[in-house]
Amino acid sequence: MATLAVTGHSNLAESAESSAPVIRKALLTLLDRYPASEPIGVSCLAEGSDALFADAVLHVGGKLVAVLPSRDYRQRMISPRYAKEFDRLHQAAAEVQTMPYERAARPAYAAANRELLRRAELLVAVWDGRPGAGQGGTADAVATARTSGVPVHVVWPVGAARQGRQREPGSKKRRTRSNF
């Protein structure tokens, strides 16, 4: 069995040409490399990239493991718009681990990232490649994985965008990188 963990942006653009379909397709293409019911996907189940990855793992018959950053994660961080999908993924998880933090904050996210990386044979990063805002974010997880020797596969297909961020100039090229 292959264990893949995910990190990625939660603020994916919502528009007529939403990022979700192109990212989902790229994730399914990646997961197609593994025989049916082989992949184990580890996710914090955050809205956006984490949820797309978790759903893709379940779609291909894989096993989902949820790592929640804190005890108050659902009530504090899950929007009403996303709550039903979060609950569906949470219920579908074969295992749920909650980190020993009462409150969702950067230290809890960093601890959850460390747990993801501890379990991972490969980190799937749904990431635009830009520097992050600090501890516990996508860029931090990628940097930690790389310094820890965990291979990273970056997924950022043509058409992917974040809310409040413009696509990079010249982003017509497919931006899928890997260091494995």
Q: What percentage of the chain exceeds 90 in pLDDT? A: 72
> What is the number of residues in the chain?
180
pTM, full prediction: 0.87
**Which pair of structure tokens corresponds to residue 9?**
């942006």
pLDDT the model gives residue 147: 96
Do the strands 63-68 and 40-43 form a parallel or antiparallel pair, or are they unpaired?
A: parallel
CA dist 162 and 23 (Å) reads: 12
166 pLDDT higher than 50: no
Q: Tens digits of per-residue pLDDT, 76-126?
A: 999 999 999 999 999 999 999 999 999 999 999 999 999 999 999 999 999
153 pLDDT higher than 70: yes
Full domain range(s) for residue 166:
3-178
pLDDT the model gives residue 67: 98
Q: Please give the tally of structural domains in the chain.
A: 1
Q: Tens digits of per-residue pLDDT, 3-52?
A: 999 999 887 876 545 888 999 999 999 999 988 668 999 999 999 999 99
Start-to-end C-alpha separation, the chain = 17
CATH number at residue 35: 3.40.50.450
CA dist 165 and 162 (Å) reads: 5
CA dist 9 and 162 (Å) reads: 8
Distances (CA, A) of 119 to 35, 57, 109: 20, 16, 15
CA dist 115 and 97 (Å) reads: 9
pLDDT the model gives residue 180: 38
Distances (CA, A) of 88 to 63, 91, 114: 14, 5, 25
65 φψ region: left (φ > 0), alpha (ψ -120 to 50), beta (else): beta
